[in-house]
Amino acid sequence: MTLPLEGIRVLDLSRLAPGPFCTMILGDLGADVIKVEGPREGRLAPMALLAVDEQRMTAHNALERNKRSIVLNLKSEPARHIFYQLAQGVDVIVEGFRPGVVKRLGVDYETISELNPRIVYCSLTGYGQDGPYSNLVGHDINYISIGGALGIMGLPGAPPAIPANLVADFAAGGMNAAIGILAALIARESTGRGQYVDIGMGDGVVSLMAAMLSRYFASGQVPERGNDMLTGGVPCYSVYETKDKKYISIGCLEPWFWENLCRALGREDFIPHQWAEGEKRGEIFENFRQLFATKTRDEWFEELSKTDICVGKVYSLAELAQDPQLSHRQMIAELDHPTLGKVKQVGISVKLSDTPGSIRGFAPHPGQHTDEVLLALGYTKERIEELRQEGVVG
């Protein structure tokens, strides 16, 4: 079966989650991704805290699947020469270093585009390649702070609620990078040239705030944390604790859904007060909290999901993996590992009717494909071993 990005070759210099997520997307869709790793990087080191052995973690590591791995010490001239050889035959390079690092290593866009004018070169950083924050270090929590997302998350009067690193790292970073790369590849069909893709995660967070910023620019009203319509500030769009100490989410923004909810809860008197404020809003919240505490989460879901009400179970990750809808959509993939048997990974979210993506290989061990890649470039086994002894490759 043909894959949508079949024939596209990618060199992945990235390390932390946003870059590998980007190249996971490209790899899932058929690109040949070669991960260029430095010597002794210990990619899985943080997982040691989970007491999971490297083989098992590698088997379940979706971020690095569908990739090959070579180890190059780009601080050495022979390794840079190998990188230049590789760069002449690929379509995309992805890197996630701080601005200026790839220039010092001699593998920046300007250098590579001289060798390969068709290259699409993506740099993925916290704040982009220019501006007063371009060299400021950071992580997801910092990018969602400056992008305005963190400030609106949490309960009224409480400190901001820190989410998992999904907003900046994965959505604003990795996913935006994949979109930018795909757009540049399409543009190349018309222009014949590649281009530089500059992705700043702070920029991406701001773009994700488009709807809220539009409302602010139009009204001048700043949403208060926990009091906005979409951050749990109204009874029709909130979470409620249930009898079994779990939570259920309600998202009945449309008046007909709200009416259905009120009828299902036996509180038709609340129907005219969907957007009530002050004491009335507090009264509805309190009544809903008492009502939802009378049944378990799954009992409420079973009951409310039958009556055209926007309702969802608040899952733990363990529960998510068992959900029938996600299973049906193949969002939890079960793969045959050569030594571990059946292993699970996250599935592929982009569903294409004619050219669907696929999981074709597990995450490689660092340097697993060094010999394979160098042999394809014309290096002999003897020369590869010499380079390995010299610390050029691994």
- Summarised one tens digit per residue, pLDDT across range 271-300 is 999 999 999 999 999 999 999 999 999 999
Rounded mean pLDDT, 79-106: 98
Kindly give, in sequence order, each residue whose CB lies less than 8 Å from that of residue 281, ignoring residues fewer than 6 positions away.
Answer: 234, 235, 273
Instruction: Note the pLDDT of residue 52.
Output: 65
Instruction: Note the pLDDT of residue 40.
Output: 75
Q: Measuring CA to CA, which residue among 390, 363, 380, 387 is closest to residue 28?
A: 363
Write down the catalytic residue from 28, 169, 203, 228: 169
Q: Does residue 213 register a pLDDT over 90?
A: yes
Percent of the chain scoring above 70 in pLDDT: 97
- Summarised one tens digit per residue, pLDDT across range 152-202 is 999 888 999 999 999 999 999 999 999 999 999 999 999 999 999 999 999
Active site residue 328: no
Q: Measuring CA to CA, which residue among 299, 264, 358 is closest to residue 6?
A: 358
Instruction: Note the pLDDT of residue 53.
Output: 79
Q: Measuring CA to CA, which residue among 55, 87, 54, 56 is closest to residue 70?
A: 87
Domains of the chain and CATH, by start:
9-208+329-389 (3.40.50.10540), 237-320 (3.30.1540.10)
Active site residue 169: yes
**pTM exceeds 0.85 for this model:** yes
* Cβ neighbours of 347 (radius 10 Å): 18
